[in-house]
Structure 1
Amino acid sequence: MTSIRLAIFALLAINAVIYAAAGRAAEGIDALAWIALLVLFEIEARCPRWTHPARNAVTLGLLRLVAAAAIAIAALTFVREEEWLDATNAWLWIGVVAVLELEVRAPSLVARCRRAVTALSIALYAALAAVALVWLAHGEWFDGYDAVLWIAAFALIELDLLRLTTPARSARDAPL
C-alpha cells in the first residue's frame, strides 16, 4: 500500500470514528460501514489469493452484504431525517459502487458500453465534487474535507481497476 493511500485511509478511519462519536447515529453507521467496504475492496484488489478459497469468498461476500445493508439503512435514514445533502451524497456513492461492481463483475459488458460507463462515472464524481463544494460553501468544513478524502480514495480504487481490467482480463466476466 502506498504511503498516500495509507494516509488517506488512515484519515478516513479517523473521520469515521469522529462521526461515530460526535455525529448523528446515521452518520456514524454510514462512516463505519463505508470504511468496512473500503477495506473489503482493498482486500479483493490487493490480496486476490484470500478470495479464492470458497470459505473466504463467502465470508468476504457476507461482510460486504452487511456493510452494504448498513450503508443503505443510513442513506434511507438521511432521507427520513430530511438531511438532503447527506442523502444525495449517500445515494451518489451507492451509484459509484454499483458502477465499480459492474466493472469488476462484468468487464466484457463494460467494455462494450465503455463510453456510457465512463460518462456515468464522470457524472457521479462531478456530482460528488459539487456536494463537497456545497458543504464547504455552507461552512461545513469537516463534511467537505471528508467528502474530498472519499473522492481521492475511490479515485485510487478506480486507478487500480483500470490496471486490473486489461484487455486480457476483460475477455471474460468475473463470477457473480
Structure 2
Amino acid sequence: MAVAHPVLRRAFPYFKWTVFGLLGINVVLFFTEQTLVEGLDSLAWLTLLLLFEWETSQLDKPYVSRWEKWSIHAGRILAYGLILQSAVEYGAADYIAEHGAVDLWNALTWIGIVLLLEYDIYFPGEYARWEWYLRNGAKLVLYGALFVFALLWGLEGRWLNTYDALLWILCFFTIEFNVLEFEEEIPYSDAADGDPAPVAASPAAGQASGEV
C-alpha cells in the first residue's frame, strides 16, 4: 500500500533514514557492549539491509552498469557469509549455555524473512494471487515471531537486544513498504488479460533475461 498523502510521502524518507541511523549506532554499541559475534552479525545485517533498500527501491529499473550489479552481489555474498557464520556461533552449545537459544531462533527467523525478500527481488510480480497471500502470510508469521523474541529478551533484562530487535523490524518494514508500493502497480500473473499495468522487471530479473 502506497503512502497516499503528499505530506506523509515527503516525510517517509526522513523517518526511514533516521531509523537506519539509529540502527547504525546500535551496531557500534554491539561491538562495544556485546560479543564480537553479535557485533559482526549486526554489521552484516546492516549491510544487507542497505542492499535491500537499494534494490527494492529500484524494482522497476535495471542495473545501470555491471559494476553496480556485481558490487551488490559481492556485498550480499559477504553479508550472508557473516550472517550464516553468526548463526552457527549462536547454535554452538557453549553459546546457548551462556546466552540461551533465543539468539539462534532469531537468526533463523531473519534468514527466513530475507529469503522471501530475495524472492521479491528476483521474481517481482511473477506470482499468482494465492502465492502473494501465502508469501505475505509467511512473512507475518515470521515478523510475529521476531516480536516474541524481542519480548523474551526484555523479560531476560537484555534491553539493548530488545531495542535493537524492534529497530530491525521497523527498518525491514520500510523494505516491505518498497515492495508493496511496487506490487500495487502490477497485476497478479493469473490476472485477467484486461487488467492494467504490465509486470515490470527488477534489476535482478533483468539480468536473468539479458537486459543488463
Which TM-score applies when normalising by structure 1? Answer: 0.90
Q: Is residue 67 from structure 1 mapped to residue 79 from structure 2 by the alignment?
A: yes
**Aligned residue for 2:191?**
none
1:160 pairs with 149, 157, 178, which one? 178
Partner of 2:4: none
Deviation, structure 1 residue 47: 5.7
Aligned to 1:38: 49
Alpha-carbon distance in structure 2 between the residues aligned to 1:127 and 1:110: 26
What's the offset of the Cα at 1:23? 1.4
Q: Residue 103 of structure 1 aligns to which amino acid in structure 2?
A: D
Change (3 A) 1:110 1:138: farther
Matches for 1:110-125 after TM superposition, within 5 Å: 111-125=129-143
* Whole-Å separation in 2 of the counterparts to 1:89 and 1:137: 15
Question: Over aligned residues, Cα RMSD in angstroms?
Answer: 2.1
Bigger Rg over Cα = 2
What is the aligned partner in structure 1 of residue 23 from structure 2?
12
State the shift of 1:59 in Å: 1.3
For residues 170 and 147 of structure 1, what CA distance do their matches in structure 2 show?
A: 34
Q: 1:110 to 1:18 in 2, by over 3 A?
A: farther
* Higher RCO, 1 vs 2 (CA within 8 Å, ≥6 residues apart): 2
Of all paired residues, the percent bearing the same amino acid is 31
Question: Measured at CA, do residues 8 and 172 of structure 1 come closer, stay the same or move farther in structure 2, by a change above 3 Å?
Answer: closer
CA distance in 1, matches of 2:118, 2:199: 14
1:27 corresponds in structure 2 to: 38
User: Match for residue 136 of structure 1?
Assistant: 154
Distance across 1 between alignment mates of 2:159 and 2:118: 30
Q: Which residue of 1 aligns with 2:118?
A: 101
Count the aligned residue pairs.
176
Structure with more helix by fraction: 1
Q: Is the CA contact (8 Å cut-off) linking 1:20 and 1:27 kept in structure 2? A: yes
Q: Match of 1:129, as an amino acid?
A: F
The CA deviation at 1:149 is: 0.5
TM-score computed with the length of structure 2 as normaliser? 0.76
CA distances 1:88-135 after superposition (whole Å, capped 9, x unpaired): 111111111001111121231365511211210111000001001111
Q: Confirm or deny that 1:57 pairs with 2:69.
A: yes
Q: Deviation at 1:169?
A: 5.9
Unaligned runs of 5+ in 1: none
The secondary structure found in structure 1 opposite 2:157 is: coil
